[in-house]
Amino acid sequence: MSLEELIHGESLNIEYKEMIPNNSEKYTKTVVAFANTQGGKIIFGVADNTNEIVGVNNLEIYQMMDRIASAIYNSCEPTIVPQIEPYTLDSKSLIVVTVSPGMQRPYYLKSKGKVAGTYIRVGGTTRPANADKIKELELEGTNISWDELPCIGYAVTKEAIENLCNEINKRRKDIQIIRELSGNLPLVNETNLENWNLFTRKCDQMVASNAFALLTSEYIVWSKTQCALFKGTDRNLFLDKKEFTGPLYEQIDQAVNFVCRNIRLRAEIRGLLRHECYELPVDAIREMLVNAHCHRNYVDNSYIQVAVYDDRVEVTSPGGLYGGLTLDLALNGHSRLRNRILANLFSVMGLAESWGTGLKRIQTLAKEFGLPNPEFIATSDSFRVNLYRNSLEDEMRRSKTHNGNYSLIHGDSTEKNENKLEEISEKNEGSFANSSEVAHDQTNDNNIETNPDKTDLLNTTQKRIVSLLKVNSKLSAESLAEKLGLSSRSVEYNIKKIKDLGILVRRGSYKDGYWQVIF
């Protein structure tokens, strides 16, 4: 960015000074704030109220630069070494002080001490850091993530270890099914959890990390996910609200389900096949929630919040971007791990990638669904993602352009959606009664209904899966997801439910085998 582009107003990373003040604290505290956050520039010779370039005395510019360097060196702890350069703009001399994000946090003014002299940037202003922020900066400075710290008072039990290992192994197996990988994955056991620093052994006792507590209980009381449905586009009127606690992976699943219950469901006939899908990509909603839990600041005792509005789904997590990361860098695939153990476990469980691709993936999924660009908002103490919905009018216009083969259903709840969808699907399928493929499909549905002892427990999606597998027993989970217009995770979940009822059995390997429907 050129110097001209920087003279457009103060911001998170830009501050102006008309002259060099006699009291150096008026700018050294901003140097400290930049070092504690994402870095920035102080430009001397620009009026901060009007953005007018007034310049500094060209004859004394190098003495001024030495004076600034000495003030920063003498005032700041640990030592901050900025880049100080002269510039000429509109025939006037400026001094630009560039401060990089520091690695020895927290930085503070010596004269005030750590408690009173630690500053951060909030918008375009410099503010004192509170106790929680100082604690987080201390963790950053020692390169220790909060989830690695011992969880005082939380016991490591064999039951908790076994439950967590079983959950990890189940999800890993599900990933293998979806990706049609052959062979047997090694089972995760107690030794793996210890190697991943979920707990440590001291004097023949196991000491839990904060991550272990987060993944096995609701012991950490501020680890909650608050979900709400609002009427309109602001928070004036609640229509529904829930609060989820317990292991983080359960909170993520429950919050995804809450959102899906409260958005629209679509049924569309494409050629001879019916596709059912939500108006928003479920995988993007899940990604938003995984990122929120993985990267939130657990020093802050606020909750993760999920809000469903008429025009968007909003996920907000405590804690801004971590370790000097900027939003531009984050959107280009860079990642700084605030909670290293959680990030690793989420990757092992298939909930997250380890390549910093989450935000890009949300953008890509939104584009594929024809949605407005998602919005990412980073402040000093929170991170928010807005996934925007198409308006109801836009959805109805889409319905008209599909020659009546597109049906829109409001998302009151999953059960209501399924009932409404079944009615619409039957009407749409009737218009294709002469098609052999659809007729065959309907025959299979009828066969299912003749076995009420088991199949009465199947929902509409599960019945469709069974029907498709009776026609082609070698369909993969990905192929089923494509035909049904659902996410792979959703298909995987429903297949497990069908298997648990004894209606579906996998024969042979996951690469070369097939599904057997049993009645």
Burial letters 474-506, b for 16+ CB under 10 A, else e? ebbbeebbebbbbbbbbbbebbebbeeeebbee
Domain locations in the chain as residue ranges? 3-141, 146-216, 225-412, 433-519
**Domain spanning 433-519, CATH class:** mainly alpha
Spatial CB neighbours of 298, under 8 Å, sequence gap ≥ 6: 146, 147, 210, 214, 220, 222, 223, 318, 339
Q: Please name every residue paired with 383 in a beta bridge, in sequence order, or none if there are none.
A: 317, 378
What 113-119 contacts at long range (C-beta under 8 Å, 24+ apart), as own/partner pairs, is: 117/29, 117/32, 118/32, 118/36, 119/29, 119/30, 119/32, 119/33, 119/36
Decide if 45 contacts 54 (C-beta within 8 A): yes
pLDDT for the residue numbered 482? 75
**Alpha-carbon gap, residue 461 to 422, rounded angstroms:** 9
Residue type, 153: G
pLDDT for the residue numbered 397? 62
DSSP conformational letter for 148: G
- Phi-psi map region of 234: left, alpha, beta (phi>0 left; psi -120 to 50 alpha): beta
Q: Please state, as a whole number, how many other Cβ atoms lie within 10 Å of the Cβ of residue 47.
A: 13
**Alpha-carbon gap, residue 199 to 371, rounded angstroms:** 43
**Alpha-carbon gap, residue 509 to 503, rounded angstroms:** 19
Spatial CB neighbours of 348, under 8 Å, sequence gap ≥ 6: 168, 172, 188, 196
**Alpha-carbon gap, residue 212 to 198, rounded angstroms:** 5
225-412 topology per CATH: Heat Shock Protein 90 (3.30.565)
Residue type, 5: E
pLDDT for the residue numbered 176? 73
Decide if 212 contacts 151 (C-beta within 8 A): yes
pLDDT for the residue numbered 382? 93
Decide if 15 contacts 41 (C-beta within 8 A): yes
> Could you tell me the CA-to-CA distances from 292 to 120, 176, 372, 373 in Å, in that order?
22, 25, 21, 19
**For residue 121, which phi and psi values (nearest 5 degrees)?**
-95, 135
Q: Please name every residue paired with 270 in a beta bridge, in sequence order, or none if there are none.
A: 273
- Phi-psi map region of 16: left, alpha, beta (phi>0 left; psi -120 to 50 alpha): beta
pLDDT for the residue numbered 415? 42
Q: What is the pLDDT of residues 53-65, one digit of tens each?
A: 999 999 999 999 9
pLDDT for the residue numbered 434? 30
Q: What is the pLDDT of residues 375-411, one digit of tens each?
A: 999 988 899 999 999 987 776 665 555 545 555 555 4
Strand duo 238-244 + 14-17: pairing:
unpaired
Sheet holding 205-209, edge to edge: 150-155, 205-209, 199-202
DSSP conformational letter for 335: -
pLDDT for the residue numbered 326? 87
Spatial CB neighbours of 364, under 8 Å, sequence gap ≥ 6: none
**For residue 185, which phi and psi values (nearest 5 degrees)?**
-70, 140
Residue type, 365: L
3-141 topology per CATH: 3.30.950
Q: Which residue carries 């002892």 as its tokens?
A: 453
Spatial CB neighbours of 504, under 8 Å, sequence gap ≥ 6: 466, 469, 495, 498, 515, 516, 517, 518
Length of the chain: 519
Q: Please name every residue paired with 275 in a beta bridge, in sequence order, or none if there are none.
A: 268
Residues of the chain with pLDDT under 70: 1, 177-183, 267-276, 353-356, 395-456, 509-511, 519
Domains 3-141 and 225-412 share a fold: no
Is residue 369 classed exposed, middle or buried when 0-12, 13-18 and 19+ CB atoms within 10 A define those classes? middle
Orientation of helix 158-179 relative to helix 340-348, angle to 10°: 50
Is residue 441 classed exposed, middle or buried when 0-12, 13-18 and 19+ CB atoms within 10 A define those classes? buried
